[in-house]
Amino acid sequence: MEKYQINQFVEKTKQQDKGQGLFELETERILEINLEQQIWAKMGTMISYRGNIKFEREGILEHGFGKLFKKAFTGEGASLMKATGSGKLYVADQGKKISILHLNGESISVNGNDLLAFEPSIQWDIKMMRRIAGLLAGGLFNVRLEGKGMVAFTSHYEPLTLMVERGNPVYTDPNATVAWSGDLQPEFVTDVSLKSFFGRGSGESVQMKFEGQGFVVVQPFEEVYFGNKES
């Protein structure tokens, strides 16, 4: 059969340089980083590399006592690794779809579990979201990123961006919420009447409420994080 020759498979799936710069989507679920100096990526996401690249786990005081305390307090499981050198680095996270943003002075908040990689030029901080009556065991945390540089985050399947307008708030399932614009400050709200309809993961009556002007990104999947419990 001519259809399934090895050379056809190789030609169809082989890596290709697309000339897109530092971050390049090799496929929808594999990020190629054309490394020249340094990059931060989620620990455990490296699947391959070529070139002269050194990998280091995030040092315990790498980002100061403030972030160390927050990581201990939030029980953050998504540690970072630092890749330094030159070459091609390929990262992926459980087959999730990858989105790339180039921040030009803007800010965005990304669910801590969905952050994949970012440039060292980006300023970042861990933000703990308010817990309600223990419904979210361990709470939820997000990472606020701002400045100039590239950021990559992941979602289960295709993400959907919902516009938030003043006077017309958007409610989301916390486990399906991936990211939101930096000007928004979500709050947790409860509605027991929606218990059987809204979410299954971290407390079925809990929703995130976004008010103001901006956007929120959701995914068609409820990601239950380690430490969360059902109410």
In the chain the domains, ranked by start, together with CATH numbers, are 20-218 (3.60.160.10)
Rg of the Cα trace of the chain? 19
Q: What is the mean pLDDT of the chain?
A: 83
Q: How confident is the model at residue 199 (pLDDT cuts 50, 70, 90)?
A: low
Number of C-alpha atoms within 13 angstroms, CB side, residue 51?
Answer: 19
* Residue 191 confidence (pLDDT) above 80: no
Distance between CA atoms of 190 and 58, rounded to whole angstroms? Answer: 36
Per-residue pLDDT for 69 more than 50? Answer: no
- Tokens (6 digits) for 76: 């953050």
CA–CA distance, 57 with 80 (Å, rounded to integer) = 6
CA dihedral angle for residue 178, residue 100, residue 145, residue 217, rounded to 10 degrees: -20
pTM recorded for the entire structure: 0.84
How do residues 99-140 score in pLDDT, each as one tens digit? 999 999 999 999 988 999 999 999 998 887 655 444 454 446
Check whether 231 has a pLDDT greater than 50. no
Q: Look at residue 227 and tell me whether its pLDDT is greater than 90.
A: no
Q: pLDDT tens for residues 39-64?
A: 999 999 999 999 999 999 876 545 55
CB-based contact 83:33 (threshold 8 Å): yes
At residue 40, what is the residue type?
W
